[in-house]
Structure 1
């Protein structure tokens, strides 16, 4: 087998531990964000429910960060899914119950797909932003089917636009900046992301 391919697909123990730790950390953040989201509910505050998606990018960041740090096939998906699981079980879970697992799966697939399209070789800001954006697109389509079935096309397109912007900025750019900060602090010395 090609050694370059093997080095980018074979998981080390530290990769698996890091995915788990990032998933747990982001799961707690997701749980807290969910509690805050329930209080704020931006859409209700401005009278236009699709605008709430402007805050939803936070729930997409785990997949982007997991993909940027571990840089192995499946890392983005696994990190997002673990984060969803943790948010579901920590301190009574979220107001969405077990459905967050399906959300995590869908969002993680969106984030993962971008890294796969670039053959797990690009980890720059545009790639991170695309990963966050595609996670948002996947999540929006999922939410239309399960949460917002009564919305008309105008509301759905507005929701998609708001969600995509949030994915680009919060999950994509925010995730990339977080990874750069961790690399500068020396927390990623065991990963290729240390050179980012």
Structure 2
């Protein structure tokens, strides 16, 4: 049974973390963590490609609502950036290995760039930067916590990373206050859309049986057995 204590997390022989304050029970990737399996690579590539197509579609739709909401206060445009952080969160939640979040986010950015976007090659650079922000959170958590709180933190961290990069490119003429506001709005969008949304998407995929070879699939089976 899951417990909620403030004791340091411990890992049993099955790779399950219990007792951690960030996530009472997370099933971890098989050890060693850097021992990527072929199924891990193929799944991240597939997820990244699928989300990359969605990214491209979102980019086509993006400018309409963006123009409406940013009238008078441009940093509010960050509210619509959360979907672009989704791939990193989902990749990290599914595979749970170092590099999974970054790999998935970069793959999605690359795929979304191929049909052509108004941002050109900077789309890929943005994907790398955002993926690094998401990856950092999973790394700081030791790749041991994968609940909704961890997902929200991972999605949120992509925001400041994106804002930092854009402060030298797209928003370099903004005031410092606007840049800070933009980073905060990006973090909020990332936490809600990419964090909560990515967690829900991962759970839905696990419930559909698409993640049986991964920890989320095992968590779903164990929850149903309780």
Structure 1: gaps of 5 or more residues: none
Aligned length: 192
Q: Name the SS of the counterpart of 2:33 in structure 1.
A: helix
Higher helix share: 1
Q: For residues 10-159 of structure 1, what are the structure 2 equivalents within 5 Å?
A: 10-42=35-67, 46-90=71-115, 93-159=116-182
Q: Is the 8 A contact 2:70 2:76 kept in 1?
A: no
Q: For each residue in 1:121-140, what CA deviation from the matched residue of structure 2 results, as whole angstroms up to 9, or x when unmatched? A: 11011100000011111011
Q: Name the SS of the counterpart of 2:81 in structure 1.
A: helix
1:166 correspondence with 2:182: no
Q: Is the 8 A contact 2:52 2:108 kept in 1?
A: yes
Q: Name the SS of the counterpart of 2:188 in structure 1.
A: helix
CA distance in 2, matches of 1:166, 1:112: 17
Residues 42, 53 of structure 1: alpha-carbon distance in 2 compared, 3 angstrom cutoff: farther
TM-score by length of 2: 0.81
Which protein has greater RCO, CA pairs closer than 8 Å, 6+ apart? Answer: 1
Q: For each residue in 1:107-163, what CA deviation from the matched residue of structure 2 results, as whole angstroms up to 9, or x when unmatched? A: 000000111111111101110000001111101111111111111122112211111
Q: Is the 8 A contact 1:30 1:58 kept in 2?
A: yes
Instruction: Give the alignment's Cα RMSD to 1 decimal.
Output: 1.6
CA distance in 1, matches of 2:168, 2:197: 28
Larger Rg: 2
Q: Is the 8 A contact 1:43 1:50 kept in 2?
A: no
Structure 2: gaps of 5 or more residues: 1-12, 16-29, 221-226
Moved more, 152-161 or 99-108: 152-161
Q: Is the 8 A contact 2:159 2:184 kept in 1?
A: no
Runs of at least 4 residues of structure 1 off by over 6 A? none
Q: Name the SS of the counterpart of 2:97 in structure 1.
A: coil
